Chains A and B, each alone.
Chain A
Amino acid sequence: MSRHLILDNPGVRRAGLFLTALAVVVLAILPVFVVERGQEGFVTNSLLFNFTQMFMMIAMAASWNLTGGFTGYVDFGHAVWFGIGAYGTGVFMTKVGLSFPVATAGGVVVSVVAALLIGSATLRLRGPYFSIAMLATFVATREIIRIAKPLTDGGEGMTLPPYLNRPLFFYVTLILAVLVVAMTWWLRRTQFGATLIAIREDEIGADMRGINTTLHKITVFAISAAITGLVGGLWAYQNTFIDPDIVFIERRTLDIIIATILGGLGTVAGPVIGSVVFYWLRDLVWSHFLHYHLIVTGGLLIALVLWVPEGIVGSLSDRSGATPLSRLLHRNREEQSEDDLIETAGGSDPDGTES
Chain B
Amino acid sequence: MSGSTILEGRGVLKNFGGLCAVDQVDFRVDEGEIVGLIGPNGSGKTTLFNCITGVEKVDGGEILFKGENITEDKPYQIARRGLARTFQVIRVYRDLTVEENLLLSRQWGEVPTLRSFTQADPSLHDKAAEIADFLLLGHHLHEKAGILSGGQRRLLELGMTLMPDPDLILLDEATSGINPTLIQTIKDRIREMNGRGLTLMLVEHDIRFISDLCDRVIVLNYGKKMADGTPDEIKSDERVLEAYFGDDGGSDVD
Chain B residue at smallest Cβ distance from A355: B149
8 Å CB interface, A252-310 against B = 266
**Would A192 and B178 be within 8 Å (CB), given that A210-B76, A212-B76 are in contact?**
no
Nearest Cβ distance between residue B24 and chain A, in whole angstroms? Answer: 24
By beta carbon, the residue of chain B nearest A1 is: B147
Say yes or no: B103 contacts A351, CB within 8 Å. no
| Interface hits, A320-355 → B, CB 8 Å | 321, 323, 337, 340-341, 343-344, 347-349, 351-355
* Beta-carbon nearest neighbor of B89 in chain A: A337
Please give the distance in Å from B124's CB to the nearest CB on chain A.
Answer: 10
Rounded to whole angstroms, the CA-CA distance of A323 and B94 in the bound complex is: 11
Q: In this assembly, does B108 line the interface, its C-beta being within 8 Å of a C-beta of chain A?
A: yes
Q: How far is the CA of A210 from the CA of B92 in the complex (A)?
A: 14
A209 at the B interface (CB under 8 A): yes
CB-based contact A198/B93 at 8 Å: yes
A310 nearest CB across to chain B (Å): 12
A39 close to chain B: CB less than 8 A? no
When distances are taken between beta carbons in the complex, the residues of chain A under 8 Å from B106 are: 210
Q: How many whole Å from B57's CB to the nearest CB in chain A?
A: 13
Is A352 within 8 A of B179, CB to CB? Answer: yes
A187: B residues at CB distance < 8 A: 117
How many chain A residues touch the partner (CB < 8 A)? 44
Contacts of B178 in A (CB 8 A): 352
Nearest-Cβ distance from residue A16 to partner chain B, whole angstroms: 21
- Indicate if the CB atoms of A192 and B112 lie closer than 8 Å: yes
- For chain A, what secondary structure do more than half of its interface residues adopt (helix, strand, loop), or is it mixed? helix
Select one of B103, B112, B177 contacting A194, CB under 8 A.
B103
Q: Is A205 located at the chain interface by the 8 A CB criterion? A: yes
Which chain A residues lie closer than 8 Å to B182 at the CB level? 352
Q: Which of A173-203 contact B (CB under 8 A)?
A: 187, 189-192, 194-195, 197-198, 200-202
A321 and B117 within 8 A (CB): no
- Checking B76, B89, B110, B117 against A340 with a beta-carbon cut-off of 8 angstroms, the contacting residue is B89
| A197 and B93 form a contact (CB under 8 A) | yes
Answer whether residue B91 sits at the interface, using C-beta atoms and an 8 A cutoff: yes
A191 & B150 in contact (Cβ 8 Å cutoff): no
Contact, CB under 8 Å: A197 / B95: yes
Q: Once bound together, how far apart are the Cα atoms of A347 and B91, in whole Å?
A: 16
Contact of B151 (CB < 8 Å), options: A204, A341, A352 = A352
Q: Is A27 an interface residue (CB 8 A)?
A: no
Q: Does B111 contact A (CB under 8 A)?
A: yes
Tell me the B24-68 residues at the A interface (CB within 8 Å): 53-55
Is A141 at the interface (CB under 8 A from chain B)? no
A190 x B85 contact (CB < 8 A) = no
- From B53, B76, B105, B164, contact of A213 by CB (8 A): B76
Residue of A nearest to B180 (CB): A352
Asked if A204 and B179 make an inter-chain contact with CB atoms under 8 angstroms apart, the answer reads no
* Cα-based distance from A355 to B117 in the complex (angstroms): 35
B210 within 8 A of A: no
Contact with A215, one of B79, B96, B104, B112 (Cβ below 8 angstroms): B112
Asked if A2 is at the interface (CB within 8 A of a chain B CB), the reply is yes
Tell yes or no: A211 within 8 A of B by CB: yes
Residue among A200, A209, A213, A348 having the largest count of chain B Cβ atoms under 10 Å: A209
User: Closest chain A residue to B90 by CB distance?
Assistant: A340
- A85–B238 Cα distance when bound, in Å, is 72
- Given contacts A191-B103, A209-B104, is CB(A321)–CB(B95) below 8 Å? yes
5 A-B pairs (CB sep. < 8 Å)? A205-B93, A206-B104, A210-B76, A210-B107, A354-B151
Q: Which residues of A are at the interface with B, using a C-beta cutoff of 8 A?
A: 1-2, 187, 189-192, 194-195, 197-198, 200-202, 204-213, 215-216, 219, 266, 319, 321, 323, 337, 340-341, 343-344, 347-349, 351-355
Binding site for A on B (CB under 8 A): 53-55, 74-76, 78-80, 84-85, 87, 89-96, 100, 103-108, 110-112, 115-120, 136, 143-144, 147, 149-153, 160, 164, 176-180, 182
4 extra A-B contacts, CB within 8 A, seeds A190-B119, A354-B179? A190-B117, A209-B107, A212-B76, A215-B112
Question: 3 tightest A-B contacts by CB?
Answer: A352-B179, A348-B177, A210-B107
